[in-house]
Amino acid sequence: MLEETGPEWLSEEVKTGTTIIAIEFDGGVVLGSDSRVSAGASVVNRVMNKLSPLHDKIYCALSGSAADAQTIAEIVNYQLDVHSIEIGEDPQVRSAATLVRNISYKYKEELSAHLIVAGWDRRDGGQVFATLNGLLTRQPFAVGGSGSSYVYGFVDAEYRRGIRKEECQQFVVNTLTLAMNRDGSSGGVAYVVTIDEHGTEEKVVLGNQLPTFFDQ
Amino acid sequence: MLGFMRGQPLLSTVIHREKMAAAPVMMPYFGQQISSKSDLVPDWTRQEVSTGTTIMAVEYDGGVVIGADSRTTTGAYIANRVTDKLTRIHNKIYCCRSGSAADTQAIAEIVAYQLGFHSIELDEPPLVETAANLFRASCYRYREELTAGILVAGWDKRKGGQVYSVPIGGMLVRQPVSVGGSGSTYIYGFMDANYKPGMNKEQCMELTAAALSLAMERDGSSGGVVRLASISEEGVERRVILGNQLPKFSTH
């Protein structure tokens, strides 16, 4: 007997296929992400912003299962609010990353999400932390998501310490574009968030404004 | 006639992601049950030999540049750290091999024989496209039994330098630049960003050496030395870049 089960994508898990990246520059950090959310072969959201604020000057980039990643971000956002009231000042980026790591590690069997935490604080300036599988490590840059495999070589080759803000933003956009061109689970527009001591700036780069490469 | 019989099951070469060395796609995992007496012999004696690999081929005006790493693995053991994956098929036609070492060696030998015969019949140097089609014919016909990802590259009088990609499954496509093997996923972005049409031979060599180094740093199944070759009307020129001479990047 054939049952009416509805379209396939209703029964597929919703994943943020994704490419996410965060890079330190001289004076802050730049985070970037694509905007595609897929359920199986369908794109269920083509304009999702995967750069989620944890605090004024601390953001995280979401990848993996959309539900898991969003929930972790919301919980940590709450915990950081409480923490920053307790200490009476802006929280450190390392604190935010530690809170994310604690959840990722404790529930590592149940969760399938990788969050990259990046931001600026007065003590250590711009910082990027990776929290994959429940580890915590500070890195000059971090890439994540299914699209990241395709751009490891590019980022390894092009990254330099101490680059300026505009160069860094362009680097992030280039990296996202290259990944989006090769990874079926990444696409849409590019969201870029820049955090430094003066504040936080959110930007969207639309599809037709993305850089093109030799075969396009 | 020309049968490819493989009784050995495919085994993953990388522990975390069950990724077959030859292709950046998920392959079904045919695991073996390990019995207790197997503690007497190391695990890698039961694993298939695979050219983990990163391979690359680039066309330029007047010829092609091909390159490969030099690591062959059986499981986690490096069976050969100075492998030559750039195999001569004819005077000015080479192939870059990735996937199962046995499969690709067998196919390459068969194609070299077929092409040599064909060239004698024609009384002319064979076309690169012919060699590529011979690879494709074998790889497609025996696609269920084989694991072979091959780049065919060379020079002929009719079309100059050409690169043809014959990935797993046996399709055939000509591309100005192509990468293959398990390490290739990491350098798609680098290649897209840095390849420009109209580069000369030296630029292609540098691009290939840089790309292979980057892939070898990230892919556990690729490593060793970088072997390069350039093929043009003048002939074939081979180079080896040893580990300490590889291009270095700021994160290393």
Q: Report ipTM for this prediction.
A: 0.82
- Provide the residue ranges of all domains of chain A, joining segments of one domain with +: 19-164+182-208
Q: What single-letter amino acid sits at B97?
A: R
Average pLDDT, chain A: 92
3 state DSSP class of B154: strand
Residues B97-111, mean pLDDT to the nearest whole number: 96
Predicted confidence at residue B51, as pLDDT, reads: 60
Predicted confidence at residue A216, as pLDDT, reads: 81
Distance of CA B165 to the CA centre of its chain: 10
CA distance B158 to B147: 31
* Contact between A153 and B187 using a beta-carbon 8 Å cutoff: yes
* Contact between B189 and A156 using a beta-carbon 8 Å cutoff: no
Q: Which chain A residue has its CA at the smallest distance from B177's CA?
A: A215
Which of A140, A157, A214 faces B190 most closely, judged by CB atoms? A157
Active site residues of B: 53
Q: Where are the alpha helices (DSSP H) in chain A?
A: 66-87, 93-106, 152-158, 165-182
CA distance A24 to A168: 8
Task: For B192-216, write each residue's pLDDT tens digit.
Answer: 999 999 999 999 999 999 999 999 9
Predicted confidence at residue B7, as pLDDT, reads: 42
C-alpha torsion A19→A25→A28→A32, nearest 10? -10
Q: Which chain B residue has its CA at the smallest distance from A151's CA?
A: B189
- Residues of chain A contacting residue B211, judged by C-beta atoms under 8 Å apart: 153
* Contact between B189 and A161 using a beta-carbon 8 Å cutoff: no
Question: B242 to each of B65, B192, B228, B245, how far by Cα in Å?
Answer: 18, 26, 11, 5
3 state DSSP class of A97: helix
- Residues of chain A contacting residue B215, judged by C-beta atoms under 8 Å apart: 153
The candidate with the shortest Cα–Cα distance to B235, out of B131, B90, B123, is B90
Low-confidence ranges of chain A (pLDDT < 50): 1
- Residues of chain B contacting residue A161, judged by C-beta atoms under 8 Å apart: 250
Is A149 part of the contact surface with chain B (CB cutoff 8 Å)?
yes
Label residue B46 exposed, middle or buried (CB < 10 Å: 0-12, 13-18, 19+): middle
Is the Cα dihedral A160, A165, A166, A171 positive or negative? Answer: positive
Is A107 part of the contact surface with chain B (CB cutoff 8 Å)?
no
CA distance B194 to B214: 13
Distance from CA of A175 to the nearest CA of B (A): 7
Higher pLDDT, A157 or B11: A157
Which of A140, A159, A175 faces B189 most closely, judged by CB atoms? A175
Is A160 part of the contact surface with chain B (CB cutoff 8 Å)?
yes
Predicted confidence at residue B45, as pLDDT, reads: 67
Predicted confidence at residue A38, as pLDDT, reads: 87
Distance from CA of A53 to the nearest CA of B (A): 28
Q: Which chain A residue has its CA at the smallest distance from B207's CA?
A: A157
At residue B30's C-alpha, the angle toward residues B32 and B138, to 5°, is 125
The candidate with the shortest Cα–Cα distance to A21, out of A77, A63, A82, A76, is A63
Predicted confidence at residue B39, as pLDDT, reads: 63
Render the burial of A58-93: b for 16+ CB within 10 Å, e for the rest: bbbbbbbbbebbbebbeebbebbeebbeeeeebbbb
* Contact between B214 and A152 using a beta-carbon 8 Å cutoff: yes
Whether the predicted pLDDT of B252 surpasses 70: no
Average pLDDT, chain B: 86
Is the Cα dihedral A99, A79, A109, A146 positive or negative? Answer: negative
What are φ and ψ of residue A51, in 5° steps?
-100, 110
A and B: number of Cβ contacts within 8 A: 68
Distance from CA of B203 to the nearest CA of A (A): 16
* Contact between A215 and B185 using a beta-carbon 8 Å cutoff: no
At residue B193's C-alpha, the angle toward residues B179 and B170, to 5°, is 25
CA distance A95 to B146: 51
- Residues of chain A contacting residue B187, judged by C-beta atoms under 8 Å apart: 152-154
Is the Cα dihedral A178, B151, B65, A156 positive or negative? Answer: positive
Which of A140, A182, A214 faces B189 most closely, judged by CB atoms? A182
Distance from CA of B47 to the nearest CA of A (A): 26
Could you say which of A16, A18, A177, A194 is catalytic? A18
CB A19 within 8 A of CB A179: yes
Predicted confidence at residue B11, as pLDDT, reads: 38
Task: For B212-247, write each residue's pLDDT tens digit.
Answer: 999 999 998 999 999 999 999 999 999 999 988 998
Query: Among 3.60.20.10, 3.10.180.10, 3.30.70.580, 3.20.20.150, what is the CATH number of A19-164+182-208?
Result: 3.60.20.10
Q: In the structure, what pLDDT confidence band is assigned to residue B29 with cuts at 50, 70 and 90? A: very low
Render the burial of B86-123: b for 16+ CB within 10 Å, e for the rest: bbbbbebbbbbbbbbbbbbebbbeebbebbeebbeeee
Predicted confidence at residue B16, as pLDDT, reads: 36
Is A179 part of the contact surface with chain B (CB cutoff 8 Å)?
yes
